[in-house]
Structure 1
Amino acid sequence: MSTDTPKRPSPARARLIDAATRLFYEEGIHAVGVDRVIAEAEVTRATLYKQFGGKENLVLAYLQNEDRMLREMFAEAGASVTEPERLVDAVIAGIVADIGQRHTRGCPFINAAAEYPDADGAVRQMIDEHREWFRSTLESVAVAAGLSRPADVAASLVLLRDAALVGGYLDGDDRVSPAFARTARAVIDAHRA
């Protein structure tokens, strides 16, 4: 029997991750205790510790889940759009949709970083890996679209997304999304060859 076959998470593990994702994002990681996650997931304390060993590993699973969902969104957009120039538009539209529909309380990675200031800790390392993937993915999109200085484009879009997710939470999607889209398109237009 091959050990390379990916295993589906147990239903209890999936419920724990789902509950943690919702609670940690809506209320803050340190504000939510494991008892609350256990109650929401309808599992025992022993199940949480068997699956994760403790809260920090559950936090890492939450962030890995957020990372996976974002990677899947990018993969779907890449599969559905064949023209590189249109992929840039799809990325901007995807970020706008994220601000208003999914991440309405800011960026989960920025929120977690605020709660875990140790840059050498496992949580911050996970956040750094996610941000590096996001930045390099945007740079690849800019390269494929023939934009000049693709690393600068990617850095600008990451910064704009960070600001837009926080701004969307504070000032509302109706105010922030159009400003993000307008500014992101200006960055793209400034780098067209």
Structure 2
Amino acid sequence: MVSEKGIPPAQRLLDAAVQLFYAEGIHAVGVERLIAEAGVTKATFYRHYRSKDDLVVAYLEHKDTTTRAALLGATAGLEPQQALPALFAAIAAYSCGPGFRGCPFINAASEYPDRTHPVRQAVTAHRTWLRTTLSELLAALDHPEPESTARQLVYLRDGILMAGYLDSPDAVDATARHALLGIVGEHTVHN
């Protein structure tokens, strides 16, 4: 149970969602289970979240915030030539970490096929931020095609996150580095 004295009910619900949605899947976890784990009443749940989907969006926004902080932290103070390898090394390390169960955004998208659904819009917002961030890094490196290359790097990230769940950390790290150099060119980045 997530419930602790002093933690507001909305936060307890979000904490339960972060834990359960990621570990078990969004559709596998019902509102009753979230309520029980958070130690709140049904009325409290609906006072803070109009629906389970609203809590799913809050979960993804939380994951977006923490992912942005981690990736920006991995590149803080680095020149663009070092930032790209550092960013992809952080992604590879994260994907091979304990408790990793795949990309929370890809996992959510697989459960919500309707691209107009608010959950898919939250997934799209995260991917747009990542693509824009990568494009800006590539532009700072005077890459000739920053936007299309950034899209390729997002796809590389997707693959790294899946491989991290399935393969060994050493293989994921080495392959990620090699693929990054193949996409952006060795002259663009410095390990």
- Relative distance call for 1:185 and 1:103 in structure 2 (3 A) is farther
Report the TM-score when normalising by structure 2: 0.86
**In the alignment, residue 33 of structure 1 is paired with which amino acid?**
G
The aligned counterpart of 1:34 is 31
Determine which of 55, 60, 63 is the counterpart of 2:57. Answer: 60
Deviation digits for residues 113-157 of structure 1, max 9, x if unmatched?
110011111111111111111101111111112323112321121
Q: CA deviation at 1:97?
A: 1.9
Q: Is the partner of 1:32 in helix, strand or coil? A: coil
Deviation digits for residues 16-47 of structure 1, max 9, x if unmatched?
11111111111110011111112222222222
Bigger RCO (CA 8 Å, 6+ sep): 2
Q: CA deviation at 1:172?
A: 4.1
Q: CA deviation at 1:61?
A: 0.4
Give me the identity figure in percent: 44
Q: Which runs of 5+ in 2 are unaligned?
A: 1-6
Contact 2:95 2:161 in 1 (8 A): yes
1:40-189 → structure 2 map (5 Å cutoff): 40-81=37-78, 83-101=79-97, 104-189=100-185
1:22 paired with 2:19, answer yes
Q: Which runs of 5+ in 1 are unaligned?
A: 1-9
**In the alignment, residue 188 of structure 2 is paired with which amino acid?**
R
- In structure 2, distance between residues paired with 1:28 and 1:158: 23
The aligned counterpart of 1:4 is none
- In structure 1, distance between residues paired with 2:36 and 2:168: 31
Q: How many residues align?
A: 183
- In structure 1, distance between residues paired with 2:98 and 2:154: 17
Deviation digits for residues 62-91 of structure 1, max 9, x if unmatched?
00001111222233244332x221111221
Contact 1:148 1:192 in 2 (8 A): no
Q: Is the partner of 1:105 in helix, strand or coil? A: coil
- In structure 1, distance between residues paired with 2:51 and 2:97: 31
- In structure 2, distance between residues paired with 1:45 and 1:173: 42
Contact 1:67 1:130 in 2 (8 A): yes
Q: Which moved more, 1:88-97 or 1:61-70?
A: 88-97
